Amino acid sequence: MSQEFPEAIVRLDTFSSAVWYRGKRGRYLIEGSKCGNCGELFFPPRAGLLCPACLERKMEPHRCAEGGVVVAQALDDMGFPAWGYGDDLPRHMVVVRLDDNVHVMGDVVDVGPGEEVAAGLRVRAVLRKHRREDTGAWAYGFRFVRDTKGEKGGS
């Protein structure tokens, strides 16, 4: 058999290495933006400085919390996967309210048989391989796993 890893390589021109490089802090650290005036938080980070809430121009980077609670989930089990996720089905797509009240979209991974992913589930962010850049290099980013800290074993 092949000595290569037979993992999919994304073939989308828009996902260039430069785009992956610029989005690195967002993917690795869930870094968004914070208005230095009114404290409003944003994820993904805002491209401009203007805060839509208070109209002040004092946007600064903000590392969001790494733990949170699932507020909405959808199970992608249609057999018609989105590009780049073909190896990880069924896929639990969730909206997570992080501990600083930022809502982010992500996947809950490492879900065992019989374990339910539903609103209210406590999760924490981990770094996982998302896909490959168009050059073949690995693109890492955050995903969520069930937060079992404080509990022994199981859910």
Partner 1 sequence: MSGIIAYGNAIPRRRIEGTAIRAVWGNLAESFLDMLSIGERAVLGSDEDTLTLAVSAARSCLERAGASGTDCAKALGSGAAKALGISAAKALGSGAAKALGIGAVVLGTATSPYASKAAANVLKDALDLGAEVLACDVQCAEKSGSTALILARGLIESGAVARALVVVADTPNRHTPPGNVTEYVAGAGAVAFLIGKEAGLAEFGPWKTHSWDQNDYFRLEGERFVRSGAGFYGWVANWGLLDHVVPAVASFFEATATAPADYSKFVVPQKTGIRALMTMGKCGLDMMQVLPYVLTQMIGDAGAAQSFLSLAHILDWAEPDERIGIVDYGSGAGCDVWSVRTTQALAAGRPETDRVLDQIDDKILVDYAAMLKLEQKMLRPADQLSNFY
Distance CA 149, CA 85 (A): 28
Give the pair of three-digit tokens for residue 29: 């650290």
Task: Give the shortest CB-79-to-partner 1 separation in angstroms.
Answer: 14
Closer to partner 1 by CB, 70 or 107: give it: 107
Q: Is 18 helix (H, G, I), strand (E, B) or coil?
A: helix
Closer to partner 1 by CB, 56 or 147: give it: 147
Show Cβ contacts of residue 124 under 8 Å, excluding neighbours closer than 6 positions.
66, 67, 68, 144, 145, 147, 149
Distance CA 142, CA 153 (A): 23
* Single-letter code of the amino acid located at 105: M
Give the pair of three-digit tokens for residue 122: 């406590």
Distance CA 97, CA 102 (A): 6
Closer to partner 1 by CB, 24 or 58: give it: 24
Closer to partner 1 by CB, 19 or 127: give it: 127
Task: Give the shortest CB-140-to-partner 1 separation in angstroms.
Answer: 6
**Binding-site ranges for partner 1 (CB under 8 A):** 1-12, 24-25, 28-30, 34, 61-66, 83-84, 86-88, 98-100, 109-110, 112-113, 126-130, 137-138, 140, 143, 145, 148-154
Task: Give the shortest CB-30-to-partner 1 separation in angstroms.
Answer: 8
Task: Give the shortest CB-68-to-partner 1 separation in angstroms.
Answer: 10
